[in-house]
Amino acid sequence: MFVDYIFAIYNFETIEGKAPTRKGAKVHEESVKAFFFFVFLCILESWWLTKKIDMPLSRIFLILFFFANAFFAQAQTPTTLQNIYGRTSISLNGRWNYIIDPYETGFYDYRRQPFDQSASGKGGYYDDRKQADKSELIEYDFDLSPTMKIPGDWNSQAEKLQLYEGTVWLRRKFVAAPKDGKKYFLYFGAVNYEAHVYFNGKKLGTHKGGFTPFQFEVTGQVKQGDNVVVVKADNIRHADEIPTVNTDWWNYGGITRDVLLAELPATYIADYKIQLSGSALRIEGYVQLSGAAKQTVTVQIPTAGLTKKFITDSTGRALISLPVKKLAYWSPEHPELYKVIINSETDSISDRIGFRTIETKGQEILLNGKPVFLRGISMHDENPLIPGRLRGEADMRMMLQWAKELGCNYVRLAHYPHNEQMIKLADEMGLLVWAEVPVYWTISWQNPATYANAQQQLTDLITRDKNRASVIVWSVGNETPISEPRNIFMGKLVSHARLLDDTRLVAAALEVHRKDNVIVIEDPLGEQLDLVSFNEYAGWYFSDTKGMLDYRFDVKFNKPVIITEFGADALGGFHADDATRWSEEFQDLLYRNQFKMLSAIPGLRGMTPWILVDFRSPRRPHPVYQDFWNRKGLISETGKKKKAFFTLKNYYDSVGMRYK
Ligand code: GCB
């Protein structure tokens, strides 16, 4: 029954397709792993029963958890191309036909068996069939179905989809002219949450995780002329997924980011990292070719007068090291980006990369060796004006421009990876970035598949954005409740982030608790992090604008303190006295009082109040003040700045002067 217990919490379905699949192979590999894991559990159970091991079940369980993590983590390899926007590609954005399928009729037969697992593999909506003669029965028709704009969440594009959680099928036809000797990849910037992808009637694979990119190789499958992509997107929330069922944001479903068909040479530059080393004396990193080819690779930074050749090893990898003489370092004040060109014998790619260092020393954060105060703001990937996920560069620029107007040099892109283009814009506009994965609130800490999923999302985020100067912090999660399994889970994510990238800070929004009038920060996870970050809602979720000033902070770590959240809801345009909840005056006074409270923390080096603009949330039903909007924005859903916007701006202006 021990095995039964383990199985009850271990949802095997989540293993299938966890990672993006190349030609569907990974799904199979995972099933084989799951089988061996099962056999291992059976052996362990009989050993435990017969030998009567003198060890509590919880201890055995933890050992098992470690084992399973190591076992499944092996399948986690970076799977997307570096710098997709630097590649030759066809955009598959545009209008896609869609079919809403709440019962998954296009996926399962009437005995609930998946069509794509049947002997013929046929029968699902991905067949994209048309009636051959007038007597034929076909109960769907993509051509006659409505269309929606991709990239774009479905909730904001059709009234009946606003609150929808379930399956929607999306289809796009396109014309291609594949060339001999080239490789082709079908690339998705993000699909929320689970995607099953079919190309010309054949299943390519599945992917889970709503905010990270994935791709499938389709070399040899792209036809001259007409091609068709069908995606089954499913945004149902599950307790064992990342994020879990409970969040405070809208669960926007669908293909929310770009879809591209990329064309590459037979041996291509699959990945590279080109970053300034911690000492600022060298530019370091690697170039990774797609195959185990030995080639000469040249890295050029023309305006810095740097060129150097490297030879890849038998795995196709070359370690890069370029001594630096004179460089204009990237900073929010001078967001200098250098053109970097990488040539291999068979491929070439260029990027715009900024070079800067970031480190902590005691309670200081040093950017290019100089103390910096992070004047930040939190934001979601959502446009308040035309509600829905940010749909393109103009939306993203609007958000970052608002942050600039507020006097920010820093943004927290909460609570999940935002669009790759957003980070590129932050590079260009000069905003430091806190990047986060959706390990939020109550995750299934003891489920190995859940951990593997979280680790994969973190890997994909770091893989994608590791060349962006703006990103200075990888955050492994937000407000997760302390327990031993959680500490282990989060601790492993911290180590994983450091393993993948040692040029940035690692952080998380820690747990806090109150003892009388003291807000205590002693979450054990803090030991492993570079920053002390936490959310505190004095004046809103506890106390009020008067009583909050009686509270003080007790931070148990000698590290820079970056407050990840504080705030209050205010309905834009609602004015009253400053003791009245939901009024702009209440929110404004709360901000003023927060500055008083926070400036008493000796290590305070920055903050990202919650939040730049009002955002949609199903957790916020108050009919007058909320109407499914979290109103903690400094800007209303109509784009109007609230009083507290100007108060925070004044505060940042004065802090900015001190850190000049
Ligand atoms: C938090 C969460 C954030 C919520 C916010 C709130 O602590 O991190 O996602 O939206 O509080 O408004 O309650």
Q: Convert the pLDDT of each residue in 134-162 to its tens digit.
A: 999 999 999 999 999 999 999 999 999 99
CA dist 260 and 461 (Å) reads 19
The CA 618 to ligand 1 mean position distance, Å, reads 13
If one residue of 378, 415, 630, 634 were mutated to test the ligand 1 pocket, choosing by the most ligand atoms within 8 A of its CB, it would be 630
Cα(365) to ligand 1 centroid in Å equals: 25
Q: Is 478 in the pocket of ligand 1 (CB under 6 A)?
A: yes
What one-character-per-residue DSSP string does 580-597 give? STBSHHHHHHHHHHHHHH
Model confidence over 64-102: pLDDT tens digits? 544 444 444 333 334 799 999 999 999 999 999 999 999
Atom of ligand 1 nearest to the CA of 535: 7
Kindly give the distance from the C-alpha atom of residue 483 to the centroid of ligand 1, in angstroms, as a whole number.
21
Q: Give the position, in ligand 1's atom list, of the atom nearest the Cα of 415.
A: 9
User: What's the farthest any 2 CA atoms get from each other in the chain?
Assistant: 79
Q: Which residue's CA lies nearest to atom 7 of ligand 1?
A: 535
Which helix or strand (DSSP H or E) is residue 454 part of? helix 448-465
Ligand 1 center from residue 248 Cα (angstroms):
6
Please tell me the predicted confidence (pLDDT) of residue 50: 55
Model confidence pLDDT, tens digit, residues 233-254: 999 999 999 999 999 999 999 9
What count of other Cβ atoms lies within 10 Å of the Cβ of residue 530?
21
Structure tokens at 239: 């307790």
434-476, pLDDT tens digit by residue? 999 999 999 999 999 999 999 999 999 999 999 999 999 999 9
DSSP character string of 495-526: HHHHHH-SSSEEEEEE--EEETTEEEE--GGG
Q: What pLDDT, on the 0 to 100 scale, is given for residue 660?
A: 82
Q: Tokens for 448?
A: 């190995």
From the CB of 382, is ligand 1 less than 6 Å away? Answer: no
Sign of CA dihedral 513, 535, 415, 74: negative
> What sections of 52-101 are H helices per DSSP?
57-73
CA distance 558 to 360: 11
- Please report the pLDDT score of residue 147 as a whole number: 98
The pLDDT tens digits of the residues spanning 159-186 come to 999 999 999 999 999 999 999 999 999 9
Contact 148, 157 (CB under 8 A): yes
Q: Which residue has the higher pLDDT, 579 or 30?
A: 579
Whether 248 lines ligand 1, by a CB cut-off of 6 Å, is yes
**Distance in Å, CA 471 to ligand 1 centroid:** 22
Q: Is the CB of 610 under 6 A from ligand 1?
A: yes
Q: Could you tell me the distance, in angstroms and rounded to a whole number, from the CA of residue 633 to the centre of ligand 1?
A: 11
Check pLDDT > 50 for residue 17. no
Ligand 1 contacts CB of residue 630 (under 6 A): yes
Mean pLDDT of 193-222: 98
509 Cα nearest atom in ligand 1: 8
